[in-house]
Chain A
Amino acid sequence: LQSDRSQPITIDADSAERDELAGTTTYSGKVEMAQGSMRINADEIVIYNTKDKVTKIIAKGKPAAYQQKPSDKAGKVVAKANILEYRIDQETLRLLEGASLQQEGTSLSGTTIEYDVRKSVVKADSNNKDSGRVRMVIPPKALRSELPDSEVNDPKSNQTNPENATQGQLDDKRETPNMPTTPDQSAVTGIDNGHS
């Protein structure tokens, strides 16, 4: 939610270590973090702070999980990766190693995903070596709610073929307003934040 960023951050863990010189606090063991509607669950969370405020949070797990409601009307965004880097000042979330992000059936996966929480824009990249390319799945319901009625009954445009999605070359007719086409190693899409 918009108000999340001004909420205090609470964290529960088995143990912790504060390094005064480095300005970090490392929480370990079944770590649960909350800030308003945002939640992170991980094996380890490191809090970086300058002077008196938290600037960056790095969560590690197998995988670490993040979830947040972009707005009251929008569905929950759920993201997973081995490493989550949440920059509070820029309100960006970077997912590294086995990254995936979902919202109400729409899902995106790749090697890395960058989610701009403020703009509700997601950018996915794949290094194509080990984990395959970017894969996006858009359920028919989501597609049908986006497309004009005339297109709804056109069999050709009925469902996105995942194969096309991984190449990032979507059929022009089915282009949804906030999903421009991109080269096949990455995809940029928007998250339903309840305003569009």
Chain B
Amino acid sequence: MKNWVYISLICVITMTVVLLWDSRPELLNPLAKVESPFERFPYAVLHDARTSHFDENGQLSYEFDAVTLKHFRADTQNTSDEDYMLITAPKLTLYGEPEPWFVTAKQGKVMAHGEKLILWDDVEVWQTEKDAATITTKLSTESIDIFPHQKRISTDAHVHIESSNGTIDADGLEVDMITQRIKLLANVRGQHEPIQ
């Protein structure tokens, strides 16, 4: 009789191991953080990529080059609003009046189907004269949000602005590229060169 007990115990243990062997990890350790598709792997990776983005009227809104562009999908089968792209060494050109704005950074993220970009790490934004060589305004900061179709730039970080008539430092800024207005939000310190 005793032997039967041992044999059935061994059978139960073997079946349990076999069943659990193929099951999903969450069953074994419900507390463990399950990696979404985002963390696990990019859906696609591009190298030395150049992308052109158009607005609803078909006008070229902005272009950017990136050394690498990693496209992540929330659902590997379909696109969704949560999809995003991680970009390294982005160089952005935002087209607008009278002259385009140029942006560079070390890192960046493109979200909401290109409606919003976040750039960080040595961010520089500048605008030039018509000759595209003489810089009229140059802005440097550590991180920035860009809404290209709305032609808007904003940040809460410290910014340093250099222009032909002086420099301005402040915490936080909003740039409206259509009206060409730069709002500096707090702790502003300006330095202007007078007439000699």
Contacts and interface: CB of A to CB of B under 8 A. Distances in A.
Contact of A16 (B127, B164, B184, B191): B184
B183 A17 contact: yes
A2 interface: no
Interface in B174-196: 179-196
A51 interface: yes
Contacts of B79: none
Nearest to A5: B194
Given A16-B170, A25-B168, A53-B165, A11 B192 contact: yes
Interface in A14-45: 14-21, 25, 27, 35
Nearest to B98: A21
Interface string B41-59: 0000000000000000000
Interface string A41-66: 00000010101111100000000000
B136 interface: yes
B188 A8 contact: no
A171 interface: no
Interface string B105-128: 000000000000000000000010
A163 interface: no
Contacts of A15: 170, 183-186, 188
A13 B188 contact: yes
Given A6-B194, A14-B188, 8 more contacts: A8-B191, A8-B192, A8-B194, A9-B193, A12-B188, A13-B188, A18-B163, A51-B165
Interface of B: 127, 136-137, 161, 163-166, 168, 170, 179-196
Interface of A: 5-21, 25, 27, 35, 47, 49, 51-55, 88-89
A42 to B, nearest CB: 14
A8 to B, nearest CB: 5
Contacts of B163: 18
A51 B127 CA distance: 15
B168 A53 contact: no
Nearest to A52: B164
B136 A20 contact: yes
Contacts of B180: 19-21
Contact of A11 (B161, B182, B190): B190
Contacts of A12: 188-190
A47 B192 contact: yes
Given A15-B186, A15-B188, A16-B170, A54 B181 contact: no
B87 to A, nearest CB: 28
B84 to A, nearest CB: 32
B186 A9 contact: no
Contacts of B182: 17-18, 20
B30 to A, nearest CB: 50
A146 to B, nearest CB: 34
B195 A88 contact: yes
A12 B169 CA distance: 10
21 contacts: A6-B194, A7-B194, A8-B193, A9-B190, A9-B192, A10-B190, A12-B189, A13-B190, A15-B183, A15-B188, A16-B170, A17-B181, A17-B183, A19-B181, A20-B127, A25-B192, A51-B164, A53-B195, A54-B165, A54-B194, A88-B194
A18 B193 contact: no
B136 A10 contact: no
B190 A47 contact: yes
B172 to A, nearest CB: 9
Given A19-B181, A21-B180, A49-B165, A14 B186 contact: yes
A5 B137 CA distance: 25
